[in-house]
Amino acid sequence: MSQVADPLVATPGSRKGTGRRPVRHDDVAGLGKLRAGFFVAPALALVGLFLVFPAVWTAYLGMTNYKLTGLSAKAPDFVGLKNFTDTLTDPAFHESLKLTLVFVLFSGILGQSLLGFAAAWVLRTTNKVVKSLIEFLVLLAWIIPSSVVSFLWVALLDRGDGTLNAILGTQGTSWLTEYPMQSIILFNIWIGTAFSMLLFSSALASVPPSQMESARMVGANTWQVLRDIVLPHIRGHILTNTLLITLWTFNTFTPYLLTAGGPNHRSEILPVYIYKVAIAGGHLGVGAAISLIMLLINLVIAAVYLRVLRERK
């Protein structure tokens, strides 16, 4: 085995006798741009291949009239920004965007966060067995495959033999067609609360008990404890939680399994709208354009949260 020292590694033995000792750069690792770039290249290639390229490809598809079948499937034409302008001026898109915002606000930001926090807050002081049991049940809603969950909900809300109608004595009420948005909002809260609960449980554990005790001793009520001690401590967690939940809820497709966007587009949130345009309707080009618009909305949401998060520090 040869004893040739690796010229790239500045070991003490290789320092003398060779004029090709690499310059130690003044960054933390001492690597310099080139070698650092070499180290991160595989990761960047992956990011480029699986994130940047699909995004650019989507942008390109969005500028064609590419379809699933027919002549434009074989030879799509370049149509410039037509798909984007058409989409942005389409009342159906506006309606869908509005429904999506309502959906995100009520099922994600308000529903899951508040319920998850409430659960975490209450369970903090409950008996261990009850706590484990409730946590288990809430988690179950999160980990059961969504196809199974949606089947359970269809059975719950069915017009003819639905469980809910049997309990309430409201036979003949078709919840999914009469209250489509309310149904998918409750459905999504039910699924997603587990995540907020878990996150807030660990966040609450980081609040120093001594401060809570002191507050109690000077006579602070629960609201005051929450406002002045708990919230300042877990503000970062709240932002992280809201960011993740907003993005997840914004992009979720699961409500399709319940209402399929119906009746008459009344629960057609953006992911369902895209599916209907692109896959069911075959307009892959338009679908790509809407997807890109959705991606931009996602980026804006993320940027706003990150800005708020940074300001906190």
Partner 1 sequence: MTTTHTLEHDVTQHRKSLFVGSLVALSLALTACGGTSGPEQTIDTTKNAEATKVTLSFTSNAILGGKNEAEAQWYQDYIIPEFTKQQKAKGIDVTLTFEPNGVDDEKYKTKLALDLQSKSGADVIGMDGIWVGEFAEAGYIKPLTDVAGADVDSWEGWDQMSEAVQQAAAFDGKRYGIPQGADGRVLYYNKTLFEKAGLPADWAPASWDDILAAARALKAAGVSVPIQLNAGTAMGEATTMQGLLPLLVGTGTKVWEDGKWMGNSQGLRDALTLYKTIYVDEGLGDPVLQQETAGRDKSFSEFASSDVGILIESDYLWRSVINPDSGTAPMPDRDSVVGYTKIPAQTPGSGVDGQDFVSMSGGAARVLNPNTEFPQQAWELLAFINSKEAFQNRVASSPIITPRADVNQIVLKDNPMLNFVATEVLPITAYRPGLAEYPEVSLALQEATAQVVAGTSVDDAAAAYQTAVEKIVGSENVASS
* Region near partner 1 per CB under 8 A, out of 36-44, 123-131, 224-232, 246-254: 36-44
* Region near partner 1 per CB under 8 A, out of 49-57, 100-108, 187-195, 199-207: 49-57
176 touching partner 1, by CB under 8 A: yes
Cα 90 from Cα 248, distance rounded (Å): 25
The site string for partner 1 over 206-245 (x = CB under 8 A, - otherwise) reads ----------------------------------------
133 touching partner 1, by CB under 8 A: no
Query: Between 180-205 and 113-123, two packed helices, what is the crossing angle to 10 degrees?
Result: 40
* Region near partner 1 per CB under 8 A, out of 111-119, 169-177, 226-234, 290-298: 169-177
In a 10 Å sphere around its CB, with 0-12 CB exposed, 13-18 middle and 19+ buried, how is residue 272 labelled? buried
Residue with tokens 């309990």: 167
CA distance between the termini of the chain:
54
Cα 63 from Cα 240, distance rounded (Å): 35
Residue in 8, 44, 299, 300 binding partner 1, rule: CB under 8 A? 44
Minimum CB separation from partner 1 for residue 27, in Å? 6
**Residue 280 in contact with residue 272, Cβ under 8 Å?**
no
145 touching partner 1, by CB under 8 A: no
Closest by CA to 242, choosing from 146, 312, 310, 308, is 308
Minimum CB separation from partner 1 for residue 40, in Å? 6
Interacting residues of 108 by C-beta distance below 8 A, sequence separation 6+: 188, 192, 245, 246, 248, 249, 250
53 touching partner 1, by CB under 8 A: yes
Q: Give, as ranges, the residues between 101 and 130 that touch partner 1 (CB under 8 A).
A: none
82 touching partner 1, by CB under 8 A: no
Residues that bind partner 1 in the complex, under the rule CB under 8 A: 27-28, 33, 36-37, 40-41, 44-45, 47-49, 52-53, 56-57, 67-71, 73-74, 159-160, 174, 176-178, 258-260, 262-264, 279-282
